[in-house]
Structure 1
Amino acid sequence: MADWGPVVIAVVLFVFLTPGLLFQLPGNGRVVEFANMRTSVISILIHAVIYFALITIFLIAIGVHITTG
């Protein structure tokens, strides 16, 4: 049986936390900007830390599993 939990969680978090797609933290002119489609190095680093923290919580602490078959 295949475990699709890590794949689904990683894809959803990647789409949600892509800097500039839905939101950017920190923004270029404000703290948070929504749907501006621009990014900066500090924004990429902050989004990467948030992504790592959330994927660690979902996969290791909670243990999300989606099995098929």
Structure 2
Amino acid sequence: MSLLSNADWGPIVVAVVLFILLSPGMMFQLPTRTRVIEFGNMCTSGIAILVHAIIYFSLFTILIMEIGIHIHVY
């Protein structure tokens, strides 16, 4: 029996999906240099990185701790 057979893959999957979706400039950027929100501009700033990190942390905490997303692979 492998050590990874009872591993909880939920936090890993949620973290990867949120990282892809919430990368500043990839799908949207909040805030931008000229507007409040822009979609697909592929540019970023320091404040946008901070805002996206706060959103990422909040969503990750809610999904893992409160909702309890767990994926067990046997």
Question: Would you say same fold, with TM above 0.5?
Answer: yes
Distance 2:24 2:33 in 1: 12
Partner amino acid, structure 1, of 2:23: T
More strand by share: 1
Alignment of 1:1-69 (within 5 A): 1-69=6-74
TM-score relative to the length of structure 2: 0.90
Show CA shifts across 1:7-53 (max 9, x none).
Answer: 00000000000000000000121110011110000000000000000
**Structure 2 residue ranges without an equivalent (≥5):** 1-5
**Structure 1 residue ranges without an equivalent (≥5):** none
RMSD: 0.6
Distance 1:15 1:32 in 2: 18
* Residue identity (%): 59
Tell me the number of residue pairs that the alignment of Structure 1 and Structure 2 aligns: 69
Distance 2:65 2:39 in 1: 30
TM-score relative to the length of structure 1: 0.96
